[in-house]
Structure 1
Amino acid sequence: MNTPKGLAGLTIRAIEATLVVVPMRRALGTSAMRITEAPLLLMDLLTEEGIIGRAYLFCYLPAAGKAAMALLQDANALLAGKDASPAEVRRLLEARFRLLGARGIVSMLMAGIDIACWDALAISANLPLARLLGAPLRSVQAYNSNGLGLLDAPAAADEARELVAEGFRAIKMRLGRASAQEDLAAVRAVRAAIADDIVLMSDFNQRLTPNEARERCMSLDGEGLYWIEEPVAHDDYAASSGLAALLRTPIQIGENFAGPRAMAHALSQRASDFVMPDLERIGGVTGWMAAAALADAARVEFSSHLFHEVSSHLMAATPTAHWLEYVDWADAILQEPLKVVDGCITPPDRPGNGLVWDAAAVKRFRSQP
């Protein structure tokens, strides 16, 4: 996606980063690992014109955040004095990291810089990011994705009621317990604990082999799940496509799309009913908008993964926008966390993407070298 006309002219002075580790209000228990704290890499793109563009990355592990900071030093030396146009910045970074490969932590870092560039451009234009992208500040339906890990059935039911009480009309639970019977019992307990009009999503976090997935997903078909997310390895499009054709319950994938080309391949294989790209893996704002165009052409509903602060702007500009995933992990270090109103989130009506750090909180949660 090219920079809008008239917005060139910002010059990068430096990119600063701070790694914070924020305790989660609700632990996230998945079939892959249990996460109790969120390592967030806060990025500030400083310009010669005095405008600061901001972004943050969720690093999963503190060590990954430290590796990203080391790579940022290299990117910083490359970009200092260069135009802050996202297209030009991407061209320079792709050339710099060509031999290393723009994958994993490298691609995450590039996405973060892209997000910060777009934030700076929107601030310079005195527009919220959504409006810079040509969209109104419309509300997007959101689901509560905090907690609801691999708890036993009674505990899952209790937590489901708590998540709904936080103002949501949709929640997500994790699957992938030791047996299909345990998963089924948990789903039935949660479904019975919440009202019939509350939407219930589910996520296996790539837990199952194709054979296991057929058995487990068929046992859950018709149990009131809105979607079944990533039942098999994220890039096993053949198995995922087979499940999508077999089940009445929609299959959802996409948080692991490594850029728009991966999503294009998945769409060509009819690997899922819905897609849900992740902002830091799809390529930042630039990658997201390319992916949104692909979903629009394929007429596939498009949801978000994490980063609801920025993703809410992008969902407003996404033709097939579906559901916004909400987690509160960054709230502790933000001056103005977004609020949920009637189960929806609206992008803030202020210039940029709305991210402003709470300096005292950043100091409190800063990771030590």
Structure 2
Amino acid sequence: MTASTPPTSPAADSIAWIRLSSCYLPLASPISDAKVLTGRQKPMTEIAMLFAEIETKDGHRGLGFSYSKRAGGPGQFAHAKEIAPVLIGADPSDISKLWTQLCWAGASVGRSGMAVQAIGAFDVALYDLKARRAGLSLSKLLGSQRDSVRCYNTSGGFLHTPIEQLVVNAAASVERGIGGIKLKVGQPDGALDIRRVEAVRRQLGDQVPLMIDANQQWDRPTAQRMCRVFEPLGLVWIEEPLDAYDFEGHAALAATFDTPIATGEMLTSGIEHGELIRHRAADYLMPDAPRVGGITPFLKIAAQAEQAGLGLGPHFAMELHVHLGAVYASEPWVEHFDWLEPLFNERLEIKEGRMLVPTRPGLGLSLSEQARAWTRESAEIGRRV
């Protein structure tokens, strides 16, 4: 072989088969936050999960997921099934290229919301496949900064929980080793919000990190008053005090108060997060990887947040965000929700206020028999080799 002759390489692997599953996870009891108490939504009783399993002609496999709450599950599944054929025969390593192709395959329905949430399941599965093939955890594949992340509990602090049980739940979470506690606020009676938060602060003391979340239900004057009331409590953040798209309102709160403002979980594209960052509308950015379209757009958002000097607190889906949080330059907070645990055979480990990053290849997850049992609809694209 002469110096000008390029070396030969084996033929690239290609995607041969995809299975999509629409799985509905029932919740133990109806869940209420401020959106329910203000009459804008009904209590949540289940979570619609979209799973994508991808297999290549060489036998490599990846698992990814997206989700929706209260509405959108059938739509996500239908859109995913419609665009999935784009992936058959493609090189699974070309993840960014494939994200763009999937996006354009469904461009007539937009580049945010349900359209990209369906893409998210494929994107996560492709990253899982790539990491598994390399024998690395997802965080190691992406370039991990740490082996554990700070975590806080949300599931014990919803508004349907009586104040006496709220205090018990918070103490139990701390005893279990979870690092912080988040409480839901935003009720029509603000005085009740104050009593609930103060009761938990008294029980836990000043050393336990405490956050609150109004789920977008305050208007600007109410948000000003409530942020001022909660300022002395030393909260880690006040989350979604205003409508998710009120960038200027959030920016005004962030500039006025010492308590950090956190928002971003309801945004469903990189462009929307970019506007949030441009307005300096948050101290903590809270992107949700499945909601923004997967790991590919999440990493772009995180890079913008890092450049702006923002904290990171990914929303929900701890099984994925524990890996993505481990990659962020500064110490993040990852939300501890145990709701999705029945769907997987593996469990995350909590120790001394931190969530340990799994060392198993990829996400380190496999679907449980229960997830199969809760599946209402599935589709296969391509052919298994």
TM-score, L = length of structure 1: 0.92
The aligned counterpart of 2:295 is 285
2:95 to 83, 86, 91: 86
How far did residue 141 of structure 1 move?
0.8
How far did residue 28 of structure 1 move?
3.4
Preserved contact between residue 339 and residue 345 of structure 1 (Cα < 8 Å)? yes
The aligned counterpart of 1:162 is 172
Preserved contact between residue 18 and residue 41 of structure 1 (Cα < 8 Å)? yes
The aligned counterpart of 2:141 is 132
CA deviation map 1:44-96 (0-9, x unaligned)? 122222122111222103x5222111112211222211222211211211221
How far did residue 300 of structure 1 move?
1.1
Structure 2 Cα separation of the partners of residues 202 and 26 of structure 1: 21
Q: Does 1:47 align with 2:56?
A: yes
1:173-188, aligned counterparts within 5 Å?
173-188=183-198
The aligned counterpart of 1:210 is 220
The aligned counterpart of 1:116 is 125
CA deviation map 1:83-126 (0-9, x unaligned)? 22211211211221222212211110112211111111111111
Preserved contact between residue 161 and residue 193 of structure 1 (Cα < 8 Å)? yes
The aligned counterpart of 1:3 is none
State the SS of the aligned residue for 1:49. coil
The aligned counterpart of 1:268 is 278
CA deviation map 1:126-152 (0-9, x unaligned)? 111111112255111111121311134
Preserved contact between residue 14 and residue 80 of structure 1 (Cα < 8 Å)? yes
Residue type at the aligned position of 2:228: M
CA deviation map 1:127-185 (0-9, x unaligned)? 11111112255111111121311134333222222322332120111001121111111
Preserved contact between residue 21 and residue 377 of structure 2 (Cα < 8 Å)? no
State the SS of the aligned residue for 2:187. coil
The aligned counterpart of 2:241 is 231
CA deviation map 1:267-305 (0-9, x unaligned)? 121101111111112331111211221122111111211
Structure 1 Cα separation of the partners of residues 242 and 214 of structure 2: 8
How far did residue 260 of structure 1 move?
2.6
Using the TM superposition, name which of 89-98 and 202-211 deviates more: 89-98
Q: Does 1:246 align with 2:253?
A: no
Structure 2 Cα separation of the partners of residues 111 and 10 of structure 1: 22
CA deviation map 1:294-349 (0-9, x unaligned)? 12211111121111112111111111242011111111021112121112112211
The aligned counterpart of 1:327 is 337
CA deviation map 1:15-49 (0-9, x unaligned)? 21222222335653211233233322222122222
The aligned counterpart of 1:9 is 12
The aligned counterpart of 2:25 is 22
CA RMSD, aligned part only?
A: 2.1
Residue type at the aligned position of 1:302: L
Preserved contact between residue 27 and residue 147 of structure 1 (Cα < 8 Å)? no
State the SS of the aligned residue for 1:109. helix
Could you say which structure has the greater relative contact order, defined with CA pairs below 8 angstroms and 6 or more residues apart?
2
Structure 1 runs of 4+ aligned residues shifted over 6 Å read none
Residue type at the aligned position of 2:223: A
Summarize the Cα distance change of 1:82–1:314 in structure 2 as closer, same or farther, 3 Å threshold: same
State the SS of the aligned residue for 1:99. helix
Q: Does 1:64 align with 2:72?
A: yes
State the SS of the aligned residue for 2:96. helix
Structure 1 Cα separation of the partners of residues 207 and 67 of structure 2: 32
Residue type at the aligned position of 1:339: E
Using the TM superposition, name which of 277-286 and 233-242 deviates more: 277-286
The aligned counterpart of 1:313 is 323
The aligned counterpart of 1:105 is 114
**Which consecutive unaligned segments of at least 5 residues does structure 1 have?**
1-5
Summarize the Cα distance change of 1:214–1:20 in structure 2 as closer, same or farther, 3 Å threshold: same
Structure 2 Cα separation of the partners of residues 283 and 273 of structure 1: 23
The aligned counterpart of 2:40 is none
Structure 1 Cα separation of the partners of residues 292 and 12 of structure 2: 26
The aligned counterpart of 2:382 is none
Structure 1 Cα separation of the partners of residues 28 and 201 of structure 2: 23
**Which consecutive unaligned segments of at least 5 residues does structure 2 have?**
1-8, 37-42, 379-385
Preserved contact between residue 25 and residue 46 of structure 2 (Cα < 8 Å)? yes
